[in-house]
Amino acid sequence: MTGAPGAAPRTGTPPFRARAAAIGSVAVAGATFALSVAYTARSLPYVAASLVAGGVAISVVWTAATNRRWRVWSVVLAVLLLAVAVASLVFAPQGLLALAIALAGIAAATGLGVLALRFEVHEVLAATWRPVGPVAHGVVFMNPRSGGGKVAKLHLDDEARMRGIEPVVLGPGDDLRALAEAAVRDGADALGAAGGDGSQAIVAAVAASHGLPFVCIPAGTRNHFALDLGVDRRDPVAALDAFGTAREATIDLADVNGDIFVNNVSLGLYAEIAASEEYRDAKRKTVATKLPDLLGPDAKPSGLCVDAPDGELRNPQVVQVSNNAYTLASLGGFGSRARLDGGALGVVTLTITGAPDISRLVALEVAGHPERFEGFRQWSAPDLRVRGPARVAAAVDGEARTYDAPLCFTCRPAALRVRIAPGASGASPALLRAPVGATSIVGIARVARGRSSGLVAYRLQR
């Protein structure tokens, strides 16, 4: 995450262990494909019935989510259709055996493929993170209400003191930004935050404004920023070691109408739901209640207008603007960024008109190509302008806010120095996990022949 924004580190010749894993992956994938073709030819009617029933079930689930009148009957029908889809495979000749072989083959080929590509990730990480010495006066701000009280449960304040770090536990009514500024005036040479991503953004903004390094302590609920920094979200205590001998990189920040964010800003569907007073205490119930009004047949247009590369994009239901682009090749990869130093915003919009759209979108995401959905748009830009109603609801790093239109987004390249503990991986899931698809198969085949796959560089440049 160092060097010129947008430049992807080069990778060299793969070692023998990477080539062996690649050869094994190609062999297992080929055998699995051959067995699947042979099974499908013998059981084509069963496979076709399963695909049709599953596709219709997706549309029925959409109806259940967006139409209160038919919700109960839609759920019942969806369950029956899914049962038909599963039964079609189970009762096919040798169906369970063929399904088990296919799943095992896919898992084995994918695992070997990831091992084959991992050497490139290690080379990128070596060029990204530089070793640094311990800080002299580190200060970490702790939100005791975040993450269900992780600060108190893990005794993070005591753990900080044991490491020579000054803990500041927030109380009711405390101004986090003002406290961070006061710490800088008192001589702090590194700032950290133990809390949710909203708190992380506030302290990171202060650190960036004074050129100080920042430490992310994952003591919130989801800790998406920590995830993309390669910090273990399960171990907030270990993250405190970043104030000692550690590794450091320089990353981007982004802002909306002057407010810094580290992850993303969502407009439209998610922002409207997050703005509800009931959302914090009953997320699933609130989503089920709000979805028919926002996406159902009687839903009002979002009123948003986005400056897209090829002109104005009107009334998308979802707009997400992120600090660097998210990897969206599949549902499992959503929510992770391969890099945080690309020097550009990531923009995603989604326009849905009905149940058939949902069926197509789900099918394309399962296939690893959501970008082929006609209502899906994704691009990168150094800045973005979104117009809308006089007041626009927004979810900024998960926190509900409202802004006067228009909303102006900008990327701030190489704005923040971040430190991670020596034991942290320093790599996000989007960088570590190779996507499953034709491109990956070609890349793994290149590694088997002793050449760089090119996939890691491709993911960093997306």
**Span 122-138, pLDDT tens digits:** 777 888 899 999 999 99
Q: Are 266 and 395 in contact (CB under 8 A)?
A: yes
Task: Provide the whole-model pTM.
Answer: 0.74
What are the structural domains, with CATH classification, of the chain? Answer: 16-129+438-461 (no CATH), 134-252+415-429 (3.40.50.10330), 264-413 (2.60.200.40)
Does 455 score more than 70 pLDDT? no
Q: What's residue 415's pLDDT?
A: 98
Q: What is the pLDDT of residues 269-305, one digit of tens each?
A: 766 655 555 445 444 443 444 444 445 555 677 789 9
Q: What is the pLDDT of residues 178-219, one digit of tens each?
A: 999 999 999 999 999 999 999 999 999 999 999 999 999 999
Q: Mean pLDDT over residues 422-451, rounded?
A: 74
Q: What's residue 30's pLDDT?
A: 81
Alpha carbons 414 and 460: distance in angstroms, whole number: 16
- Residue 333: pLDDT band by 50, 70, 90 thresholds? very low
Alpha carbons 395 and 18: distance in angstroms, whole number: 42
Min mean pLDDT across 92-96, 209-213, 383-387, 425-429 is at 92-96
Q: What's residue 419's pLDDT?
A: 98
Does 436 score more than 60 pLDDT? no
- Residue 108: pLDDT band by 50, 70, 90 thresholds? confident
Q: Mean pLDDT over residues 227-245, rounded?
A: 96
Q: Is 67 left (phi over 0), alpha (psi -120 to 50) or beta?
A: beta
Q: How many CB atoms within 10 Å of residue 2?
A: 16
Alpha carbons 44 and 38: distance in angstroms, whole number: 10
CA distances from 190 to 1, 243, 266, 405, 418 (A): 19, 8, 30, 36, 10
Q: What is the pLDDT of residues 315-329, one digit of tens each?
A: 888 899 999 998 765
Tell which wins on pLDDT, 85 or 395: 395
Percent of the chain with pLDDT over 70: 71
Q: What's residue 109's pLDDT?
A: 80
